[in-house]
Structure 1
Amino acid sequence: MLIGVISDTHGLLDQKVEERFAGVDLILHGGDVGGRDILERLSGSAPVCAVRGNVDAGDRECSSLPESLLITVGGAHIYMTHIFTPCRDGIVGDDAHGARVVVFGHSHQQYLEDYDDVLYFNPASAGRKRFANPRSVGIMEVADGAVKARFLSLE
Structure 2
Amino acid sequence: MIIGVISDTHLFSRQLVLPQQVWDGFEDVDLILHAGDFCDWGVHDLLSQMAPVEAVAGNNDPQSIVHKLGRTKIIEAGGKRIGLVHGDGGLGGSTPEKAFKSFTEEDKVDIIVFGHSHVPFAEWKKGILLFNPGSPTDKRRQSQYSYGKIFIQPDDITFEHYYFDKEKTRD
Structure 2 length as normaliser, TM-score? 0.80
Rounded Cα–Cα distance in structure 2 between residues aligned with 1:30 and 1:74: 18
Rounded Cα–Cα distance in structure 2 between residues aligned with 1:141 and 1:86: 20
Give the structure 2 partner of residue 24 of structure 1.
29
The structure 1 residue matched to 2:20, chosen from 10, 15, 20, is 15
State the Cα distance separating 1:135 from its structure 2 match: 1.3
Alpha-carbon contact 1:109-1:133 (below 8 Å) kept: no
State the Cα distance separating 1:75 from its structure 2 match: 1.0
Give the structure 2 partner of residue 4 of structure 1.
4
Structure 2 residue 53 is the aligned partner of structure 1 residue 48: yes
State the Cα distance separating 1:13 from its structure 2 match: 1.9
Amino acid at match of 2:110: R
CA gap of 1:15–1:99, structure 2 versus 1, over 3 A, is same
4+ long deviations beyond 3 Å: 84-87
Q: CA RMSD in A?
A: 1.7
> Structure 1: where are the runs of 5+ without partners?
88-92
State the Cα distance separating 1:79 from its structure 2 match: 0.1
State the Cα distance separating 1:62 from its structure 2 match: 1.8
Give the structure 2 partner of residue 90 of structure 1.
none
Q: Percent identity?
A: 37
State the Cα distance separating 1:60 from its structure 2 match: 5.0
State the Cα distance separating 1:68 from its structure 2 match: 0.7
Number of residue pairs aligned between Structure 1 and Structure 2: 148
> Structure 2: where are the runs of 5+ without partners?
12-16, 89-94, 166-171
Rounded Cα–Cα distance in structure 2 between residues aligned with 1:136 and 1:76: 24
SS at match of 2:159: strand
